[in-house]
Amino acid sequence: MTKFDEATQAIRVDETTYDVCLDPGYSIGGPLNGGYLMAVLLRAVVDASPHEHPVTTSAQFLRAPVPGPARVRLERIKAGRTAAMTRATLIQNDTSFIETLVTTATLGDVVPDWTDGPSAAMPPIERCVKLPDPKPESNMTLNAQMEMAFDPPTVAWLDGRPTGRPEARAYFRMAEPQDPDPYVLALAVDALPPVVFSAGARGWAPTVDLTWHLRALPAPGWLTLLGSGRMISDGWFDEEVEVWDSAGRLVAQCRQLARVGRG
Amino acid sequence: MTKFDEATQAIRVDETTYDVCLDPGYSIGGPLNGGYLMAVLLRAVVDASPHEHPVTTSAQFLRAPVPGPARVRLERIKAGRTAAMTRATLIQNDTSFIETLVTTATLGDVVPDWTDGPSAAMPPIERCVKLPDPKPESNMTLNAQMEMAFDPPTVAWLDGRPTGRPEARAYFRMAEPQDPDPYVLALAVDALPPVVFSAGARGWAPTVDLTWHLRALPAPGWLTLLGSGRMISDGWFDEEVEVWDSAGRLVAQCRQLARVGRG
């Protein structure tokens, strides 16, 4: 069991309740990463489902939970032959922190009937760059869990040269060797810096709604994360993330609506 | 009050319950159109919210309700200063038919800080085509509520000449003159024929999850619906719909994950 598997464990209490322990190692400067929290919720949902894979997850982020014990409360909405639907809520101190609607199903290992190519081209990994290690006092513990290699222009905002459009692209894998699975993908779809940083914005960009679809089970190896956005307006922005696996297959699609930070 | 306003009315019973009457005029050959049902749900959500606009709606479609009386049950999840979150469920005969998580907020009339262009070009409306009227026995009553003018190649599947990729593009307005508003947009994001028809598939394509974001209040006039998809695999497909208004602004973004019909 990897550290990530351990940090996302959900222990069954009864049919509708799971105990979890939120790990301080997934902090993004105070709040815990939303993708990590989704992975925790999905462990409980899949354990209680007749199906193996979380094919769609819609999450609304209400508040930022703190590391430590928490619960996942499940409500089975529909259990069909092809798909089951569950409402899952992350609860800490009797308060709801994340509300999700999840559809589980079982994906086969098939060749797609039709697929488009990636939405953007990536340079080879040896031409990509790592971000500098965060300062210890920043409490960005998440960075140590993952290895990311960025398409250089999309992180030039770090040197004061944003590209002027919302974008972020990187190769991604877990720091502790682990083949990607749906829970790693839950982390991956929310692992990029907010795409608005590249458009010149700063500050914590709280997600309001994040919906992602698991499209195929990822092959071992690096994942490619392609992040973009269509509009920044009135304090809101959309962030679109496509995840491709090492075999060149689209394995996840994600869109969030988030608030622009007050940098 | 237009026929559409009437057909989507939600009458407050108490804080968490609204009576609605599902109109047979929005049928797509038996089932009622999902966009129409979302509009009904959103009427109740917004009426009970401190905010005016449904900025994000995530809907999971469990079963197909029939025309006639139904209820919307609300659960207020969080009421913040910027945004409020509500769970809304469509209920008929004590059974849940649609589960939604909705964020409401109040959008201003502002110029976007940054916006991309449309994802596809449309020919002028006079070069677009209407679909033939459905046969009366098909019970496709929805078509009479809307006027749509399609980009010709994206409906060539009707003549046995699908383009081979998932796509559908059309100008859209209500048949009864009405300025577009968030409820009309709820209808619009689910108004195109399934994009997989253009890739050669047939048959009813049931939506599993539909998430859409209201990005701006639409200007009066025609809307432009740009539909596409990234992958068809293992019986699942994604459908992406962008809605642009007559002033050239991106007003809604929608993605659904749906099942390919067994045509």
pLDDT at res. A204: 83
Whether residues A215 and B238 touch (CB distance < 8 A) is answered with: yes
Touching check for B95 and chain A: CB below 8 Å?
Answer: no
CA-nearest of A213, A242, A243, A189 to B207 is A213
Beta bridge partners of A17: A14, A73
Average pLDDT, chain A: 96
Amino acid B231 reads: M
Rounded Cα distance, B4 and B25, in Å: 10
Which residue has tokens 């003549």?
Answer: B159
Touching check for B166 and chain A: CB below 8 Å?
Answer: yes
Radius of gyration of chain B (CA): 18
Check whether A26 has a pLDDT greater than 70.
yes
pLDDT by residue (tens digit) across B89-123?
999 999 999 999 999 999 998 999 999 999 999 99
In degrees rounded to 5, what are phi and psi of residue B160? 80, 20
Look at residue B30 and give its three-state secondary structure: coil
pLDDT band at A157, cuts 50/70/90? very high
Q: What's the token pair of residue A52? A: 């193996």
Check whether B262 has a pLDDT greater than 80.
no
Nearest to B213 among A110, A116, A238 (CB): A238
Rounded Cα distance, A64 and A97, in Å: 6
Residue of A77, A113, A167, A256 to mutate, interface with B, max B Cβ within 10 Å: A113
Touching check for B60 and chain A: CB below 8 Å?
Answer: yes
Whether residues B56 and A257 touch (CB distance < 8 A) is answered with: yes
Touching check for B262 and chain A: CB below 8 Å?
Answer: no
pLDDT at res. B135: 87
Q: What's the token pair of residue B258? A: 């749906």
Provide the sign of the torsion angle of the four alpha carbons A177, A178, A179, A180, taken in this order.
negative
pLDDT by residue (tens digit) across A190-223?
999 999 999 999 888 899 999 999 999 999 999 9
In SS3 terms, B102-162 reads as EEEECCCCCCCCEECCCCCCCCCHHHCECCCCCCHHHCCHHHHHEEEEECHHHHHHHHCCC
pLDDT at res. A80: 87
Given its phi and psi angles, is residue B139 left (phi above 0), alpha (psi -120 to 50 degrees) or beta? left
Nearest to A231 among B60, B116, B259 (CB): B116
**B234 Cβ neighbours under 8 A, 6+ residues apart:** A107, A108, A110, A112, A216
pLDDT at res. B263: 57
CA-nearest of B224, B229, B121 to B165 is B229
* DSSP-assigned letters across all residues of B156-224: GGGGT---SS-EEEEEEEESS-----HHHHHHHTT-SPPGGGGGT--S---EEEEEEEE-SPPPSS-EE
**A229 Cβ neighbours under 8 A, 6+ residues apart:** A165, A166, A167, A195, A196, A199, A237, A238, A239, A240, B116
Whole-model pTM: value is 0.97
DSSP assignment letter at B243? E
Whether residues A85 and B96 touch (CB distance < 8 A) is answered with: no
pLDDT at res. A155: 97
pLDDT band at A51, cuts 50/70/90? very high
Q: Evaluate whether ipTM surpasses 0.90.
A: yes
Give A89→chain B minimum CA distance, Å.
11
Pairing mode, if any, of strands A84-92 and B167-174? Answer: unpaired
Give B136→chain A minimum CA distance, Å.
32
Provide the sign of the torsion angle of the four alpha carbons B144, B150, B154, B156, taken in this order.
positive
Pairing mode, if any, of strands B68-79 and A84-92? Answer: unpaired
Q: How far apart are the first and last CA of chain B?
A: 39
Percentage of chain B exceeding pLDDT 70: 100
Would you report the helix, strand and coil content of chain A in percent, each value rounded to 5?
A: 20, 40, 40
Beta bridge partners of A61: A98
Q: What's the token pair of residue B159? A: 């003549």
Check whether B30 has a pLDDT greater than 90.
no
Q: Quick count: other Cβ atoms within 10 Å of Cβ A80?
A: 14
